[in-house]
Structure 1
Amino acid sequence: MQLIETHIAKKLEKPIRFQEYAVGIFNTIPTKSSIKKAIKKKLIFIDGIVATTSKFISGGEKIELFESEKSSTFERLKLNLEVLFEDDYLAIIYKPAGILVSGNKFVTIANALTQNLQKSKQQDAVKPQPIHRLDYPTSGLLVIGKTSSAIIKLSALFKNKEISKTYFAITIGLMNSEGIINSPIEGKESITKYTVLQTVKSERFGYLNLVKLSPKTGRKHQLRKHLLAIGNPILGDKEYFLEGKVLNEKGLYLHASILEFIHPFTKEKISISKELPKKFTKIFSVT
Structure 2
Amino acid sequence: MKVLETHFVKVIETPIRLQEYAVGIFKTTSTKSSLKKAIKKGVVKVNGKTATTALHINEGDTIELFQLEEKAQKKHFNFTLEVLFEDDYLAIIYKPAGILVSGNSFATIDNALMQNLQKSTSPNTTRPRPVHRLDYPTSGLLLIGKTTESIIVLNQLFEKKEIQKTYHAICIGKMERNGEINFPIDDKKASTSFEVIQSIESPRFAFLNLVKLQPKTGRKHQLRKHLFSIGNPILGDKEYFLENKVLKGKGLFLHASTLTFTHPFSDKKITITKELPKKFKKIFP
Which of structures 1 and 2 has the bigger CA Rg? 2
| Counterpart for residue 170 of structure 1 | 170
Determine helix, strand or coil for the equivalent of 2:68: strand
Determine helix, strand or coil for the equivalent of 2:231: coil
Aligned-pair CA distance for 1:201: 1.0
Q: How many Å separate the matches in 2 of 1:112 and 1:253? A: 24
Aligned-pair CA distance for 1:188: 1.1
Asked whether the 8 Å contact 2:228–2:234 carries over to 1, the reply is yes
Q: How many Å separate the matches in 1 of 2:55 and 2:278? A: 50
Change (3 A) 1:146 1:49: farther
Asked whether the 8 Å contact 1:101–1:130 carries over to 2, the reply is yes
| Counterpart for residue 87 of structure 1 | 87
Change (3 A) 1:65 1:136: farther
Change (3 A) 1:55 1:250: same
The answer to whether 1:65 aligns with 2:68 is yes
Determine helix, strand or coil for the equivalent of 1:67: coil
Change (3 A) 1:280 1:47: farther
Change (3 A) 1:249 1:268: same
Change (3 A) 1:7 1:220: farther
Q: How many Å separate the matches in 2 of 1:259 and 1:51? A: 42
Aligned-pair CA distance for 1:200: 0.7
The answer to whether 1:208 aligns with 2:208 is yes
Determine helix, strand or coil for the equivalent of 1:228: helix
Change (3 A) 1:50 1:92: farther
Aligned-pair CA distance for 1:203: 1.2
Change (3 A) 1:50 1:197: farther
Asked whether the 8 Å contact 1:2–1:126 carries over to 2, the reply is no
Asked whether the 8 Å contact 2:2–2:66 carries over to 1, the reply is no
Unpaired segments ≥5 residues, structure 1: 13-17, 26-34
Root mean square deviation of aligned Cα: 2.7
The answer to whether 1:8 aligns with 2:29 is yes
Aligned-pair CA distance for 1:204: 1.2
Question: Can you list the C-alpha shifts for 1:55-84, whole angstroms capped at 9, x where unaligned?
Answer: 336799846433224x323xx210000000
| Counterpart for residue 55 of structure 1 | 52
Amino acid at match of 2:43: F
Question: Can you list the C-alpha shifts for 1:6-52, whole angstroms capped at 9, x where unaligned?
Answer: 9727448xxxxx9xx54xx8xxxxxxxxx8xxx7xxxx522599996
Asked whether the 8 Å contact 1:233–1:240 carries over to 2, the reply is yes
Q: How many Å separate the matches in 2 of 1:58 and 1:177? A: 55
Aligned-pair CA distance for 1:186: 1.1
Asked whether the 8 Å contact 2:85–2:92 carries over to 1, the reply is yes
Q: How many Å separate the matches in 2 of 1:48 and 1:91? A: 35
Amino acid at match of 1:174: K
Asked whether the 8 Å contact 1:9–1:61 carries over to 2, the reply is no
Q: How many Å separate the matches in 1 of 2:151 and 2:197? A: 35
Asked whether the 8 Å contact 1:94–1:140 carries over to 2, the reply is yes
Amino acid at match of 1:56: T
Unpaired segments ≥5 residues, structure 2: 4-26, 57-62
Q: How many Å separate the matches in 2 of 1:274 and 1:57? A: 46
Question: Can you list the C-alpha shifts for 1:114-144, whole angstroms capped at 9, x where unaligned?
Answer: 0000000000000000000000000000000
Matches within 5 A, 1:20-169: 22=37, 45-46=43-44, 55-56=52-53, 62=65, 64-69=67-72, 71-73=73-75, 76-169=76-169
When the two structures are aligned, how many residues end up with a matched partner? 254
Q: How many Å separate the matches in 1 of 2:68 and 2:248? A: 40
Change (3 A) 1:123 1:253: same
Q: How many Å separate the matches in 2 of 1:228 and 1:65? A: 42
